[in-house]
């Protein structure tokens, strides 16, 4: 009976095609792949390997870095002009109002300037975020699940964590990369994201104060506006409004020609600060929305491309956690949700 049972078993011997076998870059184990599998995941270390690697050549790194440094230099000169030009343009005015107002102006200007320049320097010259260094490539060294969902960066020739992204402008992988900002000449990542947000806050507050003080001082030195025929305009409706607008603009331009160099600088400070204030406010609001959703700009794009399968937890706790507060401030506030209701007789 035993011999007949053993003889009834079927044994199959097959050959393995070399095209269907590959070596995992994470642990070095030889793996068998399904037919035409472009991407596979190692069952031991968890590393993900893509068979279709399209490593395209990019521009020289030195050219990109030179371009970024030019942007940083131009922005630094512009900030120094706003600070020094603003101080010189309104120096006479702030002390003419009162001595206390002049001292307050200079203290506030020094605080805003120091905060803006320091946060800009930390954002521009600090490393954006280096991914953790792990051992890889050998089975005895790599344990089970040590490289879970890691991919291989063919530019850096090392493992890339799921939270990292390779920046071709910087030539390195950045942890929790949000975007590459040419104006700071650096990536915005895990190590300098807080400094970048602090720089946006400081720059927005600074531009608000510059626009206010330049407009307030400019109104006191603006030459008197003389209208030629504003009181003799005839017509009605749209034509009258267009004529009145042209007359007002012509009067403003004719009076602006009589402005001194100090007045022209005040006008430029007001226009540039208002335009910067609008752009930086939009960028700051966008960044805070991503932080509230628990995402970065790149993760937001990837979630849109994947159809939003991975949903992050939204809430103010993400903002508090981003700025270094592990617990939400609402934990320390009295909760009214579970409090007993009081009925008045």
User: Is 70 in the active site?
Assistant: no
What are the angstrom distances between the C-alpha of 16 and each of 25, 29, 30, 32? Answer: 20, 16, 12, 8
Contact 198, 119 (CB under 8 A): yes
For 148, left (φ over 0), alpha (ψ -120 to 50), or beta?
beta
Distance CA 52, CA 184 (A): 34
Distance CA 67, CA 72 (A): 9
DSSP code at position 324: T
Contact 191, 178 (CB under 8 A): no
Burial 28-59 (b: 16+ CB within 10 A, else e): beebebeeeeeebebebbbbbbeeeeeeeeee
Distance CA 175, CA 198 (A): 19
**Which of 141, 162, 137, 166 is CA-nearest to residue 150?**
162
Beta-carbon count within 10 A of 212 CB: 12
User: Residue ranges of the alpha helices (H) in 54-142?
Assistant: 61-97, 99-125
Active-site hit among 24, 173, 181, 187 = 181
As given in the structure block, the two tokens for residue 321 are: 């956690």
Q: Give me the active site residues, please.
A: 181
């Amino acid at each position: 009976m035993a011999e007949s049972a053993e003889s009834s078993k079927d044994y199959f011997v097959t050959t393995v095609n070399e095209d269907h076998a590959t070596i995992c870059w994470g642990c070095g184990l030889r793996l068998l792949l399904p037919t035409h599998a472009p991407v596979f995941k190692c069952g031991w270390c968890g590393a993900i390997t893509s068979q279709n690697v399209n490593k395209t050549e990019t521009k020289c790194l030195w050219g990109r870095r030179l371009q970024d440094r030019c942007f940083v230099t131009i922005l630094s000169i512009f900030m120094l002009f706003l600070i020094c030009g603003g101080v010189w343009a309104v120096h006479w005015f702030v002390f003419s109002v009162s001595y206390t107002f002049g001292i307050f102006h200079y203290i506030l200007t020094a605080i805003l300037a120091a905060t803006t320049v320091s946060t800009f320097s930390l954002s521009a010259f600090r490393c954006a975020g280096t991914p953790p260094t792990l051992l890889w490539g050998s089975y005895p060294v790599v344990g089970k699940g040590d490289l879970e969902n890691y991919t291989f960066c063919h530019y850096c020739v090392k493992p890339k964590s799921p939270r990292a992204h390779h920046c071709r402008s910087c030539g390195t992988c950045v942890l929790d990369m949000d975007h590459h900002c040419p104006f700071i000449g650096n990536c915005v990542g895990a190590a300098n994201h807080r400094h970048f947000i602090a720089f946006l806050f400081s720059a927005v507050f600074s531009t608000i104060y510059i626009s206010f003080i330049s407009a307030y001082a400019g109104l006191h030195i603006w030459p008197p506006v003389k209208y030629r025929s504003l009181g003799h305009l005839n017509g009605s409706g749209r034509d009258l409004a267009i004529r009145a607008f042209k007359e007002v603009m012509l009067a403003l331009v004719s009076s602006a020609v009589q402005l001194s160099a100090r007045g022209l600088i005040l006008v430029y400070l007001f226009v540039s600060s208002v335009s910067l204030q609008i752009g930086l406010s939009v960028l700051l609001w966008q960044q805070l929305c991503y932080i509230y959703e628990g995402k970065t700009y790149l993760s937001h794009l990837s979630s849109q491309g994947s159809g939003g399968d991975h949903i992050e937890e939204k809430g103010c706790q993400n903002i508090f956690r981003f700025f270094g507060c592990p617990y939400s401030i609402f934990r320390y506030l009295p909760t009214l949700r579970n409090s007993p209701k009081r009925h008045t007789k």
